[in-house]
Structures are given as structure tokens and as C-alpha cells.
Structure 1
Amino acid sequence: MAVNEVRALLERHGHIVQEVDGGNDHGEDLHVTFVQNDQRTADSVAVQVKGGVSTRTRRGHRVRVGDHGGNWRDGSLPVLCVVHDPERGGLFWANATRQLRRAEALRKTLKSVVVSRESVLDDASIGTFVQSMRNSLVWERQGLGRWADMADVEFAPNDIVKPFENECGEPMIFWQRRGEPFAVLLHHDLDWEPVRVQERMLRFDPIPVIGSVILDSAEAHWLMGCFQSTEWWRRPVEQSDLA
């Protein structure tokens, strides 16, 4: 019944739904490809569907990860958990891949995916849901979706996002939003907690730092390049630009 409810909602809005044989054994019940203007897009997700009663908590639902954690976190498709609980209003969803990546960033083991009661999936919300997932899949294809998930942030389509990896293989992200007077640094050593930075905070002597964050020489020069190449994107947004 739960799978049928999810399928009916998605197909009612024109999306392509394929049921996975043996999905309960492998942690995926459905593969969904989003459709726009009657045209199939390149954006697909996998979905694990659960009935609601056994997963209920006071604030929503929890879906046990079990032995699916590695596949849900690192698979080729993002995995969503959708719970069907008609007594509480219908369908509710959570991004399992995102929660598992965030747990990894915090060096924690996630035993259950949290599904909030506020994350309703219905005819009124499906448009916003699909657009959000499609936006995140654009960054996923660029190899940046993992870092957004680990930092628990969402990059907008017109954001400037520049990745860097130091000699120890530790990744960093420079993130500039349109019109913001500051950028955001996402850093492996900071557990991916977003840190606001400005060019005037960057120092090279006696050791490279930006604010209180210690850098190596390569990281500092990379950041300088990021600031200089995105100065135009920090300029105040004029009303004519918004129009």
C-alpha cells in the first residue's frame, strides 16, 4: 500500500517510476526519474518506502539504516526514505544520503534516518520537492553534492562553488553567493561547519591563516585566487539585476 501511494503521487505529476525487484532486501523499492514539460530529465533518485506505524516517533518517523548505510551514502543515486502514515496525514520524506553523509562528516554512525512530520510529500508540495532534488542533483553531477550534504547546506543554482584538495587529500570548498559581502569556507578539518570569510581576514605572515583557521601555503594562495576571481559576484545586487 505504501509503495502504491508513492507511485500514484509521482505518476500523477508525470514522473517515471520503476519498482525494484526485491527492493526490501536491497534497501531500494523505487527508482524515480523526474520529468519536466513532458520530457524525461537526467535526474533520478532511489526511494526506500516504509509503512508508518512501525517507524513512528513522537516527532515523526525513523527508518532503520541496517546494513544499507554504505550503499545509501555512496551509491550512484541519492536515496530518499518515504514513510506512508495516513493517520498522520499521508506521505513524509527525508534524504537518507544527505543524513548519512552529514553523520560521516561528524564521525558518527547513523542508525536511523529521521523523517520529520514537517516534511510532507503531497500534491501541494511535490513541485518544491522535485525542484529541490533536481537542484541538488546538478551539484551531485559536478562532484560537489557530497560536500554540500556533509556541511548540511544547499547550494543555489547561481552560486560559485570552488573545490580544493590539499596535499594530504583533505578537501575544502569556497562558496560565494550572489551579492553577499562574504564567502563561506567549508573545511574538512572543521567538520564541514560553514565559516564566513572575507579577503581582509586572510594573512600569510607569520603563518597562513584566515580568521582563526590555520592554513598551509597552498590553501592560502588558493583562497586568495578564489577571492580575486569572485569579487564581481560579491558586489551589491541592483534591483535591475534581480529583475
Structure 2
Amino acid sequence: MPKVLESRRVGRVAVNEVRSLLERHGHIVQEIDGVNDHGEDLHVTFVRDGQRTADSLAVQVKGGVSVRTRRGHRVQVGDHGDNWRDGTLPVLCVVHDPERGGLFWANATRQLRRAEALRKTLKSVVLPRDSLLDDDTAEAFVQRMRSYLRWEREGIGRWADMADVEFAPDDIVKPFMNDCGEPMVFWQKRGEQFAVLLHHDLDWEPVNIEERMLYFSPIPFIGNIILDEAEAHWLMGCFKATEWWRRPLESDGTA
């Protein structure tokens, strides 16, 4: 009789655990046939109040002890890096390790983009031991991923990933592309007296900026960052357009 490999059994258990958890919370999970499995095992679409949302992602599932590390788990990227980083759907890695508590997850797309910003090649996706995904954490996980997918649809998610920051739902985020094709992002949080600049030339390291720091002569600059004229005018427009969002929360009657 043909022998069923242990690795197949472990893999099937892992996939079933992920699918069971998400379906138990009402979400749509479509398994990808093994013949067409090129680095993703599941497609997930989130459901809210019984209604299908526009938020979908892909999941690569692993099981067994082979991906364990002392601090968590690692999933090898292999030749999936370009697809996981730049594909149509963001990709998560989920590991099933019942001896350590069940399911653990990480955003592979985000880690790959951050590595790109740092000019590094990511060989494996890291899943920390505190990244547990279970019935107790499922709702927070879904909310976090739906917020992430919202910014992804708006074309801004990549820059958050590269800067290793997370935009809140009520943040004002304004992207800009200079004439050299270099992207920049103006990021204003509610009630903060400063904004944050994310810039390709700054390796996406967040820089706090204020309108009083912006000068147009003798050359355009903000803080110690030299700008071209278009960038300076864009920043001025961003500051003017978001002045109301920097007001203290109590000043406009909202708490």
C-alpha cells in the first residue's frame, strides 16, 4: 500500500486548524489546490456583520517542529519573495505548533518590504512567540488586518511597511512623488502638534516635522532635510490642509 508521508499529515492538520479558526469566526476561507500551490495555501476574505467585505489576503501555512526557533518560528521565503512582497494580495505566514499553544502568525509582505527598504534580502519570515492566533485574539487580528488592507487598497500600505510603522484608521496620510520618481509620505496623527515625514532618501526612517521648520530660501529645507521646490510647496500644502487635525482634542469639543 502507498505510504502517506508524515509531512503531508502535519501540513493538512495545520491548514485545517487555520481554516477552522477563521470559519468559526464567520470569515470566508478558500483552500488552494495543491497542484496550484505556489507559496500560498489559503485565500481569506473577511466578513463583517454577515456581509462580505472588500478585505482579502493570502496565507502560507506551515506545521511541525522544523520551523521552530528558540524565540518563535521562521518560515523560509525561498523563491516566493517577489510574489509575497509585490503580489496583488498581501501574504501572511501562519505556523501550527500545538506544543507551544497553537497558531502563530506574521505579515510576510510587511517584513519583505521592510527588508527592501533596508537594502537587505530576507531569507525567512519571523513569527514571534507572542504572535498567537486563537479564539481570544481573532477579533483583534481581523481588525488589525482590515486596517492594514484599507491602506493597502489606497496605495499607501507599502510605505508604512517600508518605514515599519502602522497608520491608524483616523490618521491623515498624504503621499507624494517627486520628479525623480522618489516617494514621500506626510503623516498626521490626531491631536499631535507635529507631523511625520517618511522619505525614500531617508531610508524610510520617520522624521518629526513642524510647519515652523519649513523654509524656502536660500534653498528649500525642513530641519536638516534639503528639499526641491515642489517638495517644499507640497509640504506647505499638507501642513495647511491638516492644521485642524493638530488642534488639541478638547478645543473642538471632541474627546
TM-score by length of 1: 0.97
- Could you tell me which of 163, 172, 175 is aligned with 2:184? 172
| Cα distance in 2 between the residues matched to 1:171 and 1:132 | 25
Instruction: Provide, for residues 74-132 of structure 1, a one-character-per-residue CA deviation record: whole Å limited to 9, x for no partner.
Output: 01100000000001110000000000001111111100000010111000000000000
The aligned counterpart of 1:241 is: 254
Mapping 1:20-99, distance limit 5 Å: 20-22=32-34, 25-99=37-111
TM-score by length of 2: 0.93
SS of 1:241's equivalent in the other structure is: coil
* CA displacement at 1:209 relative to structure 2: 1.0
1:126 aligns with 2:138: yes
The aligned counterpart of 1:156 is: 168
The aligned counterpart of 1:216 is: 228
SS of 1:123's equivalent in the other structure is: coil
The residue type equivalent to 2:193 in the other structure is P
* CA displacement at 1:23 relative to structure 2: 6.9
Gaps of 5+ in 1: none
Gaps of 5+ in 2: 1-12
8 Å Cα contact 1:51-1:85 kept in structure 2:
yes
* CA displacement at 1:204 relative to structure 2: 1.5
Percent same amino acid among aligned pairs? 80
| Cα distance in 2 between the residues matched to 1:134 and 1:206 | 45
| Cα distance in 1 between the residues matched to 2:67 and 2:224 | 43
Deviates more, 1:24-33 or 1:119-128: 24-33
Instruction: Provide, for residues 31-50 of structure 1, a one-character-per-residue CA deviation record: whole Å limited to 9, x for no partner.
Output: 00101111111111100000
Deviates more, 1:19-28 or 1:62-71: 19-28
1:188 aligns with 2:200: yes
Number of residue-to-residue matches in the alignment: 242
8 Å Cα contact 1:174-1:223 kept in structure 2:
yes
The aligned counterpart of 2:6 is: none
* CA displacement at 1:52 relative to structure 2: 3.6
8 Å Cα contact 1:23-1:29 kept in structure 2:
no
| Cα distance in 2 between the residues matched to 1:44 and 1:101 | 19
1:105 aligns with 2:133: no
* CA displacement at 1:24 relative to structure 2: 8.1
1:5 aligns with 2:25: no
Deviates more, 1:52-61 or 1:91-100: 52-61
